[in-house]
Structure 1
């Protein structure tokens, strides 16, 4: 089964209120088997645009990534984020094909 990922880039306008979103999203992320691979660490942006906060979240499957996003619990948590941030979110299927040698 191919893993699924959320690739997230966020501008946070109110960090204190954003903390409520972080607390609220923990339960649905856990329920759907999410694991942070990248979470707001140092980064360089050598090409294109960026946002100051970035995350890559791995799910056990692409379907789990979609189901988490669409779950009532995550949608409720997201309502805490919307007034205090702007985000770009991509939900993408993992790749298990050939790699560079």
Structure 2
């Protein structure tokens, strides 16, 4: 049985135009890696603790796929844009069997 995995990112955007350019550049490698964006920085209510203003969640079919996409050449080529436009805390999280 394959277990899904997720990228869970908490983001503070400092350059909205630059971050939009990163998102456009990252969309192809994420899709090619089997990723499906579930949440993209929409409204959120923090009910405990403190997190960055935006949360992004990307689903992958497996931990191996999530890892391969993040560390793959295509996505890695987008990181300079991301890091110039935002502060990001990102974890790759294993999901539950479906």
TM-score bracket for this pair, using the shorter chain length: over 0.9
TM-score by length of 2: 0.93
Largest Rg, 1 or 2: 1
TM-score, structure 1 normalization: 0.90
Tell me the SS of whatever aligns to 1:54: strand
Aligned-residue Cα RMSD (Å) equals 1.2
- Does the aligned pair in 1 maintain the 2:44–2:54 contact within 8 Å? no
Supply the distance in 1 between the matched residues of 2:96 and 2:38 (Cα, whole angstroms): 16
Structure 2: unaligned runs, 5 residues or longer:
none
Maintained 8 Å contact 2:14/2:85: yes
Secondary structure at the aligned position of 1:96 is classed as: coil
Question: Any runs of at least 4 consecutive aligned residues in structure 1 with deviations exceeding 6 A, and if so which?
Answer: none
Secondary structure at the counterpart of residue 91 of structure 1: strand
Aligned length: 97
Which consecutive residues of structure 1, in runs of 5 or more, have no partner in the other structure?
A: none
Shift of 1:96: 2.6
| 1:55 aligned residue | 56
Q: CA contact under 8 A between 2:42 and 2:55: conserved in structure 1?
A: yes
